[in-house]
Amino acid sequence: MATDWNLIRTLINSAIDACELAENLGPLEPLRGATTRVNGMAVTVYDFLQSAHVYPENLKYSVIRARHLNSEDKPYTPELARILLNIGALCAELVDCNQLTNSVTGVNPHNPDTPESVESMIKGLATWYADHFSEGIAAAIQGSEDFEE
């Protein structure tokens, strides 16, 4: 396996833990100017929030350069990476979403007349990954004449 999934899991979990901690500290908007000292410099809540999204954005380019220097250029974004990109975007929509269990009609393009909650849709996707995707892709690959154990 070429991908270090534990490294990815560590990064994602640390970001989730940091976001959860920040949210549990209370509303951040009125406290953006609150400061603490880091290495002798005053650092604001706003500084921390900006760094938390700029740091990974900038580090992404460092990883791209490192991959290039290690002759690991990628000619396209692989499907597994695209899954992570879209799951991240979906998870971002859940931040500050307070009506998770409120059923609404007209949101599911495949079944627009059925009321669904955000929570049920998210849990449905999680179940789809755990059951349908995982079992289906494993069965397809293992049943292929090209599959080698």
Has residue 45 got a pLDDT over 70? yes
Has residue 149 got a pLDDT over 70? no
Enclosing H/E stretch for 37: strand 35-38
Alpha-carbon distance of 36 to 43, in angstroms, equals 5
Q: What is the pLDDT of residue 105?
A: 96
Q: What is the pLDDT of residue 94?
A: 96
Report which DSSP code applies to 147.
Answer: -
Q: From the CA atom positions of the chain, what is the Rg in Å?
A: 21
pLDDT tens per residue across span 76-112: 999 999 999 999 999 999 999 999 999 999 998 888 9
Contacting residues for 97 by C-beta, under 8 A, at least 6 apart: 118
Q: Please say whether the dihedral angle defined by the alpha carbons of residues 5, 11, 17 and 19, taken in this order, is positive or negative.
A: negative
Q: What is the pLDDT of residue 120?
A: 95
CB of 53 closer than 8 Å to CB of 64: no
- The rounded percent of the chain whose pLDDT value lies above 70 is 98
Has residue 147 got a pLDDT over 90? no
Please tell me the pTM assigned to this model.
Answer: 0.84
